[in-house]
Amino acid sequence: MRYVDLSAANPGLVYCSITGFGSKAGAALSGYDFLVQAVGGLMSITGDPHVEPQKVGVALVDVLTSKDSVIGILAALQTRSRSGKGQRIDVNLLSSLLSSLTDQASAYLATGRSPERMGNQHPSIAPYETLRCKDGYLAVCCGNDTQFRRLAAVLEIPFLADSRFVTNAARVAHRAKLGAALEEMLCRDASDVWAARLTDVEVSAGKIGTVGSAIDLATSLDLDPIVSFGDESCSQVRHPITYSATPVTRYQPPPRLGADGDEVRRWLSGESDFWRNLGPHAPGEHSMKDQPKQTET
């Protein structure tokens, strides 16, 4: 149903519309993550410049748009708690992508030149890329000159201190020679060995991992990345936010098709106790007392 019809019955309604290209001139266009990655410029700055443009490895635009939707809904609910009035929120895939291009979009707006694909290199920092080691690749991030001097000391390459590499601007200008010199030394040992040695001197470096090793890393850092449900359902990645005052106390697996249909219908009709905690203009009682404990689904 349309927002105009629903809001007439419930002025406190917060209504979120998600489209591919907006509700105006782009309303008739179908919105798919891959398509928006292509036409929205993300593929033009992703991947090796010598091969075909590449999409990101997950449906990133869908995820970004979902997060924008949640931000908008929460802001509207906060406004409603003061004014008692709801509103319509419009979110679209293309706008969410453009707002997430951050420095790349800003570079275009400042210069009129569209950024291009640089693989894993950074347009204005060096070394900030993947470098070949004996057994694979190492991600190295030298965000300042101090970190670079530490890197040079660990690798024991004296000439890295000359004028071609002494400042970040100089390293960017000579990035090809810099990368070759670094890889010549790095190829003498394994990536995990170099990662440990560089981390020890506070140079940001890490072996290229897998999804599995990433989950293992998060576990080793006490981030508790996994939620298990026993035999009830497959384990899931935990919600990334933790709350000091209202911690999540109970987790639920993804519902099966139709599992919560009756409760959703009671919720929409105002018969569910859940409405009592939604504030002004929600069906049923309007009290904000006795907020329920959070449940993560």
Q: What is the pLDDT of residues 210-269, one digit of tens each?
A: 999 999 999 999 999 999 988 778 999 999 999 999 998 888 888 888 888 888 888 777
Name the pLDDT band for 284 (thresholds 50, 70, 90). very low
**Which residues make Cβ contacts (< 8 Å) with residue 65, sequence separation at least 6?**
18, 91, 92, 93, 96, 97
Q: How many CB atoms lie within 10 A of CB 63?
A: 14
Q: Is the pLDDT of residue 294 over 70?
A: no
> How large is the average pLDDT for residues 21-38?
96
What's the rounded Cα separation, in Å, for the pair 286 and 273? 11
Do 17 and 94 sit in the same domain of this protein?
A: yes
Same domain (yes/no): 91, 31: yes
Q: Any idea what the Cα angle at residue 147 is, between residues 141 and 149, rounded to 5°?
A: 125
Residues forming beta bridges with residue 14, ordered by sequence position: 87
Encode pLDDT of 135-187 as tens digits. Answer: 999 999 999 999 999 999 999 988 887 899 999 999 999 999 999 999 999 99
In a domain, 122, yes or no: no
For residues 259 and 289, state if they share a domain: yes
Residue 25 has a pLDDT of: 96
Whether residue 292 is predicted with pLDDT greater than 50 in this model: the reply is no
The per-residue pLDDT for 134 is 97
**Which of residues 32 and 264 earns the better pLDDT score?**
32
> Is there a single domain that holds both residue 141 and residue 175?
yes
- For residue 268, give its domain range: 239-297
Rounded to 5 degrees, what are φ and ψ at 88?
A: -95, 140
Same domain, 134 and 100: no
Who has greater pLDDT, 157 or 133? 133
What pLDDT is recorded for position 251? 87
pLDDT of 117 > 50? The answer is yes
Which residues, listed in sequence order, are joined to residue 137 by a DSSP beta bridge?
A: 132
Stretch among 197-206, 252-261, 269-278 having the lowest mean pLDDT: 269-278
Picking from 111, 146, 180, the residue at the C-terminal end of a domain is 111
243: which 2 tokens?
A: 């709350």
CB atoms < 10 A from the CB of 65, how many?
25
SS3 breakdown of the chain: % helix, strand, coil, rounded to 5? 40, 10, 45
Return the CATH number at 156.
Answer: 3.30.1540.10
Cα-atom radius of gyration of the chain, to the nearest Å? 25
Q: Is residue 34 domain-shared with residue 79, that is, in the same domain?
A: yes
Which residue among 158, 193, 208 closes a domain?
A: 208
Domain for residue 231, yes or no? no
Nearest-CA neighbor of 61 among 21, 88, 27? 21
Which residues are part of the catalytic machinery?
62
Please determine, for residue 42, whether its predicted confidence score (pLDDT) is greater than 50: yes
So what's the pLDDT on residue 161? 78
First-to-last C-alpha distance (Å) of the chain: 26
Note the helical H segments in the chain. 3-9, 33-39, 60-83, 93-100, 102-111, 145-155, 168-173, 175-186, 191-200, 211-220, 261-269
Query: Given a cut of 90, is residue 295 above it in pLDDT?
Result: no
Q: How many domains does the chain have?
A: 3
